[in-house]
Structure 1
């Protein structure tokens, strides 16, 4: 390090580099050697390599026990330099790929775009987090491609009918909607506590955990008829779950994950004032009335109603399209056996 300093004062970049590489060959985590190497590469105009070294400095800084003003200023420079380099790199990539991307429909390049955005540091890639049954080796896709669900257009075409039955239900008996979050007494305070037993997030179930509510279904016959034509997830005592979900003005569902990736969750928006949005993993979308989507709820997601009016959607679960029919049949046999042995393996819908 002393030799590197001497060469730096002599403005001998090549020999300073050799000396710093020698220091890092002894200890690749030597903080000041990393700093001096980043500074040297920046002076030499090797921007990509300098940004890589500054990134290493930022990573190492978390291990520092004592950070004075000089180190804080140095780290501010590192963050700014890395960000500027990423921005420059991203602009070059976006420009170079512009024509090629334009030739590919947006839904066909979703995975590629996510790959590039993650590489550019513009988004995070989220993995499945299952509180219950985790089915391995399935793609961890945030929003599923519509091509997996050729019947989506059929249920979308029933939006006006379904919304009409929902509105009649609310007008006749708003008290039939119950708080979605209803924690047992004694549950420790957690992120759901502000919504506990609150109609900020209300629900009216037609099916719940595989059990059909005949009285509820009788009040929404056309909705039920439309749903019965769909390939709902069917697992004894667990699925399907079908309900009208209501978010009051200002409500926020905190980031969370579901219990099992054997299902895909369908949202059919019925009433959507401006300012209502939904995030799954690294992708944010706004609900649009009559436009359904399917997503994997075991990937972190959250929802907002930033408007001054009610937001209402129909939620139901279908099979994850990547699970084969033979696997579905085996799962249908597995859960009754699990129940008989006293094990509670969950797959219930979470939102």
Structure 2
């Protein structure tokens, strides 16, 4: 084909698309060169021209053409994805890994893509991940030349820094819904060493479990954990609002003991009394047995205040249960407590066939002085008194 009598660039582009589908890339190349000459500012025509070069095995020509398309539209997803694949075929592995990462930043949802593009995108994710892991290993070798003199906590921070720099972890932050106290350290799970009383609490697991199971079998006051009024927008809580799939047996509710339950749980209450729980009028302490039914998921969310952290003591844990805070996912283990910052995004699931039961309570942030704790409690109480309305929770 020597020339085309057609002078409409969009018609030429459509004709070339049909030629590419019919595996006639040479014909498509001629049509698209003519179309680019008529409309050099259309990046979509250049994208098809690059596809024709690629189909003919001219990878260098495809790359040059893609650069032209991206000069016109630097965020053009299909051009970015094709550029990465061409670099990969050229054997420019590290450049391809980085280019796939750029393409991923512009990728639409998979539902908007056809099946071949979804496969190409999945391949791109895999290559980009391998690229980042190779880069991490290269950097770790450099960073750990002096590892023998590095304290474990410092090594953990360096690893975290490295993964954040490479985008292998998301930078989760404290995002309390109501109360943010500044300059507190950010942990997903707090080090157990900050809570020297944890082993004594764990030693009470069997007694606490027995009291929880007895209450679950006999109490008439097992309530939905999520219970919002109709006037509140539910968003991610719609499926669980007023649902028995996630229930609570409250021991303290809005700072007051639930007499029916506390009387039935002397060992549990004695264990709770030894913990540094906040005491804020009509807000805390707060403690409960959390009951999650089989095949139930608690959606990602954040808590109210970073002035306290949350303790979990797992009592009944079937298989296929898990818990994520920020970047870290852990399985519950019966009798092994942990403390986490619930103002960092977290979620939980029970994919097993039995209920999961965890004792949950709030405790003060260990970094806060007694004076700070008193001032925080005073501020919260004062806000409630000013509004003359009961608070939702701490």
| TM bucket normalised to smaller | 0.7 to 0.9
Contact kept? 1:29, 1:60, Cα under 8 Å: yes
Deviations 1:294-338 (A, max 9, x none): 111122222112222221111000012333333222112212221
Deviations 1:139-189 (A, max 9, x none): 332111112211111111111121122223234x23232222222245455
Structure 2 Cα separation of the partners of residues 39 and 178 of structure 1: 54
Contact kept? 2:302, 2:343, Cα under 8 Å: yes
Match of 2:186 in 1: 140
Name structure 2 gaps, 5 residues minimum: 1-35, 41-45
Structure 1 Cα separation of the partners of residues 313 and 300 of structure 2: 21
Contact kept? 1:176, 1:204, Cα under 8 Å: yes
* Correspondence for 1:228 among 265, 273, 293: 273
Contact kept? 2:81, 2:121, Cα under 8 Å: no
Q: Decide which moves more: 149-158 or 96-105.
A: 96-105
**SS of match in other structure, 2:180:** coil
The answer to which structure has the higher helix fraction is 2
Structure 1 Cα separation of the partners of residues 322 and 382 of structure 2: 40
1:237 counterpart = 2:282: yes
Contact kept? 2:292, 2:357, Cα under 8 Å: yes
Name structure 1 gaps, 5 residues minimum: none
Equivalent residue runs for 1:143-162 within 5 Å: 143-162=189-208
1:338 counterpart = 2:354: no
Q: Decide which moves more: 120-129 or 271-280.
A: 120-129
Number of paired residues? 340
Structure 1 Cα separation of the partners of residues 372 and 169 of structure 2: 33
Q: Decide which moves more: 264-273 or 137-146.
A: 137-146
Structure 1 Cα separation of the partners of residues 113 and 323 of structure 2: 41
Equivalent residue runs for 1:297-316 within 5 Å: 297-316=342-361
Equivalent residue runs for 1:39-188 within 5 Å: 42=88, 45-60=91-106, 77=120, 80-81=123-124, 83-91=126-134, 93-94=136-137, 97=140, 110-171=156-217, 173-188=218-233
Contact kept? 1:133, 1:346, Cα under 8 Å: no
Match of 1:253 in 2: 298
Q: Decide which moves more: 72-81 or 330-339.
A: 72-81
Give the aligned CA root-mean-square deviation in angstroms.
4.1
Q: Decide which moves more: 147-156 or 30-39.
A: 30-39
Q: Quick one: structure 1 residues 153 and 209, their matched pair in 2 at CA, closer, same or farther if it must change by over 3 Å?
A: same
**SS of match in other structure, 2:172:** coil
Say which structure, 1 or 2, has more relative contact order (CA 8 Å, 6+ apart): 1
Mark the structure with the bigger radius of gyration: 2
Contact kept? 2:59, 2:86, Cα under 8 Å: no
Q: Quick one: structure 1 residues 51 and 186, their matched pair in 2 at CA, closer, same or farther if it must change by over 3 Å?
A: same
Offset, 1:100: 5.5
Structure 2 Cα separation of the partners of residues 52 and 306 of structure 1: 36
